[in-house]
Homo-oligomer: A and B are copies of this chain.
Amino acid sequence: MSIFVNITDKPLDSAEVLNYVRHPHAGAIVYFGGTTRNTFEGKEVVSLAYEAHPRLAIKTLESIAHEAKAKFQSVHKIAIVHRTGVVPVATESVMIAVSSTHRKEGWLCGEWVLEKVKERAEIWKIEKYADGDSIYKENDVSNVLSRT
């Protein structure tokens, strides 16, 4: 298998995804970790949590990985893992890793996969602020669903 996807409420492990994509034909491993920030637009974030529809989201992550393999032909392996539940500050909610023969395609593929995960995966974010506000968002910060 050349793709690995997972959704879990446990802490994510960067060594696991980096080792998964390691490949003797690859000259490049590109990795992205999305981490919880303690501020958003100047407001102090007190907690950030993710909810997913696991069965749909896993299928979507698999589709994205397969599409990426078809689009970036020198890419050998792809891993995409997403955490649910509360994710502490400076801790990863998503990890994407890609191995490729040449570095350029690794960068392009990593960024492409990340954007597709944010656009398409059935994963939602709940951000709570120190001032009492909270926002319920689709994963992509451009899609604010409701403010409570």
Contact = CB atoms under 8 A, between A and B. Distances in A.
12 contacts: A14-B31, A22-B90, A23-B90, A24-B38, A26-B35, A27-B36, A29-B32, A29-B33, A29-B35, A30-B32, A32-B107, A107-B110
Oligomer: number of copies: 2
The number of chain A residues touching the other chain, given as a range, is 20 to 34
Nearest to A31: B31
A25 interface: yes
Contact of A34 (B22, B28, B31, B92): B28
A35 B31 contact: no
B24 A90 contact: yes
A15 interface: yes
A89 interface: yes
Interface in A34-50: 34-39
Contacts of A30: 30-32
A116 interface: no
A51 interface: no
A111 interface: yes
A103 interface: yes
A126 interface: no
A134 interface: no
A116 to B, nearest CB: 13
